[in-house]
Amino acid sequence: MKQRARPQQVIDRLAERWVKASKSTAHCRLGSEPRRRRLGGCSACTSPQEFELDRTIAQLIDSAAFTRAGVCPYQTVASHLFAGLTLGPEVSRARSAGQLRTDPVVEIKGILKRIRTLLYATGLSRDDIEAISIRNDGARWQALYAIVAAERLLMKALDLFRAQIPAKAPSVRGRTGALQIQAVAHAIALAWRQLTGRLPAKGNIKFQGLLKAALTSIFGDSVKEPNLESATKIAVDRIRKDAAGRS
């Protein structure tokens, strides 16, 4: 039986897809080409259908729920979910409830990836850098040696953090679970506004279907389905309150 991805792994995957799409030279053609050409996306779409969330977005595209020209629903939802579950307004509330949202394994892996890109650009091996830095005390070579040393320390830290990861992710329950659910609702409501030009109204079945798909994709069976109408209302009220506070 295939092991289900943990919530953090799903968010990381959505983030990877969003970053890849933001660097792509292809532009979303949704809203600027005939509907008959849509099959869950525009003719330039390359988004994979790996989560329940993806399949629901595809259905909403085909039903013309999303028609804003040049705004990719897959990329928009992914970016809002990633931001909302790492930097959003619910993060501090979740921390106070006893859960740190930042995943050190993910952060260290990201740093190591950037370090390896930098070292690769030098065209030298790590052994070469170390050998040259011993004979040359120039600032450039000492800086490169420090980067190589930092990479080794970070790899050691990564192994230590990985050893602390529990075999099974905790269930989404209690106050922390409620905050996680609300963070997703807040992110999906922001994405919905960007994709449709308005916040979800009361009784919006299409929005609630998207929210349910996001919760299922991220938390799976570990989350008890909340009152979607209530979660939507709380998210919309907070978005409006935040907007009023900035005006």
- Could you read off the pLDDT of 52-68 as tens digits, one per residue? 999 999 999 888 888 88
- At residue 192 the predicted structure's pLDDT band, cuts being 50, 70 and 90, is very high
Q: Residue 67, SS3?
A: coil
Share of the chain above pLDDT 70, in %: 77
Q: What is the pLDDT of residues 6-53, one digit of tens each?
A: 777 888 888 787 777 766 666 777 767 776 555 777 777 777 788 999
Amino acid at 190: L
C-alpha to C-alpha distance for 230 and 25, rounded to whole angstroms: 40
Of 10-14, 115-119, 203-207, minimum mean pLDDT range: 10-14
Identify the three-state secondary structure at position 172. strand
Token pair listed for 129 = 């850098």
What percent of the chain stands above pLDDT 90?
29
Query: In whole angstroms, what is the distance from residue 237 CA to residue 81 CA?
Result: 18
Q: Chain-wide mean pLDDT for the chain?
A: 80
Distance CA 161, CA 51 (A): 27
pLDDT band, residue 100 (cuts 50/70/90): very low
Check residues 34 and 1 and name the one with the higher pLDDT: 34
Instruction: Tell me if the pTM is above 0.75.
Output: no
**Most confidently predicted of 21-25, 34-38, 88-92, 109-113:** 109-113
Q: What is the identity of the amino acid at 203?
A: G
Q: What is the pLDDT of residue 90?
A: 54
Cα 156 off chain centre by: 26
* Residue range 123-171, pLDDT digits in tens: 999 999 989 988 888 888 999 999 999 999 889 888 877 775 544 444 4
